Amino acid sequence: EVQLVESGGGLVQPGRSLRLSCVASGFTFDDFAMHWVRQAPGKGLEWVSGISWNNDGIGYAESVRGRFTISRDNAKNALYLQMDSLRADDTALYYCAKEGQWMVSLDHWGQGTLVTVSS
């Protein structure tokens, strides 16, 4: 069974940093691209960032480019999101998601970790 478990969320002041982690199990982690998707309270889904299985393909939403950095450690089955210069509008539930085998969907999602940016 595929499991994705996010951690690292919390309350942080504007301008500070936070690092999210996602530990994967139940599949061959280094065979698949991985993504971060967020959802602000009461709002829709926003794709944040994605990384290919071998790190040669990385993308970011315009809203986070230059502030967030995605990375992965295939030896640890782990995905990360380093979030710097956080702003109030980064407040959201952050989901880790696995890309499907045909690379045209996100077929498994974690339960999310909540990031609140406030002074």
Partner 1 sequence: IQLTQSPSSLSASVGDRVTITCRASQGIGSVLAWYQQKPGKPPKILIYDASKLESGVPSRFSGSGSGTDFTLTISSLQPEDFATYYCQKFNSFPLTFGGGTKVEIK
Q: Which residues bind partner 1 (CB under 8 A)?
A: 35, 37, 44-47, 50, 59-62, 95, 97, 100, 102-107, 109-112
The span from the CA of 32 to the CA of 56, in Å, is 12
Q: How far is the CB of 9 from partner 1 (least distance, A)?
A: 14
Q: How far is the CB of 117 from partner 1 (least distance, A)?
A: 21
Nearer to partner 1, 44 or 66 (CB): 44
Q: How far is the CB of 8 from partner 1 (least distance, A)?
A: 17
- Say which amino acid occupies 96: C
112, 4 Cβ separation under 8 angstroms: no
Nearer to partner 1, 15 or 96 (CB): 96
Residues sharing a CB contact under 8 Å with residue 43, sequence separation 6 or more, in sequence order: 92
**Segments of the chain assigned E as strands:** 3-7, 10-12, 18-25, 34-39, 45-51, 58-60, 68-73, 78-83, 92-99, 106-109, 113-117
Q: How far is the CB of 18 from partner 1 (least distance, A)?
A: 20
Nearer to partner 1, 15 or 100 (CB): 100
